[in-house]
């Protein structure tokens, strides 16, 4: 049966963040009855009593979509592996357990592409998730998220709890995090190239050697995919959410330079890590199970991000995580 969004009271953790803002807007378009966006100042999701208070303060919640996470690029993952593991495993564990106790009907856990083994056959199929250890630089984060998949499956088996697990590939879009200490690859490169162009610099230096590949999903497509999964997907098996388009970091940098209009040289700092060698997901399950297919072309999406960054420099360049 089709989900009646008007009858849903949805808690969206991380709803004020990058992806969360787009998801909340999309849920409103779908006519969601009530949307609750907990803020850290009142509900620190790493603290049991605060999670209990969240559910007590919002009785009759029918769905939780858990987006909140401590995230960052390779540098941040290497600097804070303990924080990334603890924060993410505590938030997910407490939210799911207390959702079960509160009688929440559906729990949508957002995982990460970092859950996959370092060397996974491309395209990544969900069946390969347990075939090896994740890439070392982000393994603590990936494993913390992967634990929520196991928890959801265990709770479904023992309690009949309807938890699903979504594996989004790398996201990008307007309002992304451009902080150089914690940003991911697309906003990091855009910021460097726009700044170099403005300052007349003829060289931009990027991490690694440019050979790794990545797949990127436009944030509005991701929000639509998560809502479709929340509405239509009720399986214990994890499901990939992606665009199906693989690109090397070197080609990505050249494409961003073209979109920005930067004509200087790109140099590679091979003393810095590359991260996982290749990433591209098989999107068959998402299309088959709940009809999701990405709609935004990559160049079009990048152009929107560059335009947003140029128009919102004061906001985007803030030194806040």
Give DSSP secondary structure letters for 279-321: --B--HHHHHHH-----S-HHHHHHHHHHHHHHTHHHHT-S--
Bond preceding residue 123 cis, omega within 30 of 0:
yes
CATH number of 7-174+216-246+278-297: 3.40.50.720
Q: How long is the chain?
A: 321
Give domain limits for the chain: 7-174+216-246+278-297
Residue positions annotated with a catalytic role: 141
Whose CA is closest to 222, among 87, 33, 1, 25? Answer: 25
CA 206 to chain centre: 22
pLDDT, one tens digit for every residue, the chain (321 residues)? 679 999 999 999 999 999 999 999 999 999 999 999 999 999 999 999 999 999 999 999 999 999 999 987 777 788 999 999 999 999 999 999 999 999 999 999 999 999 999 999 999 999 999 999 999 989 999 999 999 999 999 999 999 999 999 999 999 999 999 988 778 899 999 999 999 999 999 999 999 999 999 999 999 999 999 999 999 999 999 999 999 999 999 999 999 999 999 999 999 999 998 888 889 999 999 999 999 999 999 999 999 999 999 999 988 887 544
């Amino acid at each position: 049966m089709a989900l009646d969004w008007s009858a849903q009271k949805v808690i969206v953790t991380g709803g004020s963040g990058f992806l969360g803002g787009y998801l909340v807007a999309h849920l409103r378009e779908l006519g969601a009855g009530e949307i609750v966006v907990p803020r850290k100042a009142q509900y620190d999701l790493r603290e049991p009593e605060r999670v209990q208070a969240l559910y007590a303060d919002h009785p009759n919640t029918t769905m939780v979509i858990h987006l909140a996470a401590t995230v960052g690029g390779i540098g941040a993952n290497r600097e804070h592996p303990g924080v990334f593991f603890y924060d993410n495993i505590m938030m997910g564990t407490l939210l799911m357990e207390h959702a079960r106790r509160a009688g929440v009907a559906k729990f949508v856990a957002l995982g990460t592409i970092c859950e996959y083994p370092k060397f996974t056959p491309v395209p990544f199929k969900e069946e390969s998730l347990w075939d090896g250890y994740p890439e070392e630089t982000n393994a603590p984060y990936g494993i913390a998220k992967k634990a929520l998949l196991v928890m959801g499956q265990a709770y479904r088996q023992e309690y009949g709890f309807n938890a699903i697990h979504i594996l989004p590939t790398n996201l990008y879009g307007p309002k992304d995090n451009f902080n150089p200490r914690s940003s991911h690859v697309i906003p990091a490169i855009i910021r460097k190239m726009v700044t170099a162009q403005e300052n007349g610099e003829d060289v931009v230096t990027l991490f690694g050697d440019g050979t790794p590949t990545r797949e990127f999903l436009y944030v509005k497509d991701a929000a639509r995919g998560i809502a479709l999964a929340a509405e239509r997907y009720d399986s214990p098996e994890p499901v990939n959410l992606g665009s199906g388009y693989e690109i090397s970091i070197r080609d990505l940098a050249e494409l961003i330079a073209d979109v920005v209009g930067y004509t200087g040289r790109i140099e590679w700092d091979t003393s810095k890590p590359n991260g996982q060698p290749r990433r591209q997901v098989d999107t068959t399950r998402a299309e088959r199970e709940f009809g999701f297919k990405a709609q935004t072309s990559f160049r079009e999406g990048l152009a929107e991000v560059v335009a947003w960054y140029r128009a919102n420099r004061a906001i985007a360049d803030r030194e806040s995580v």
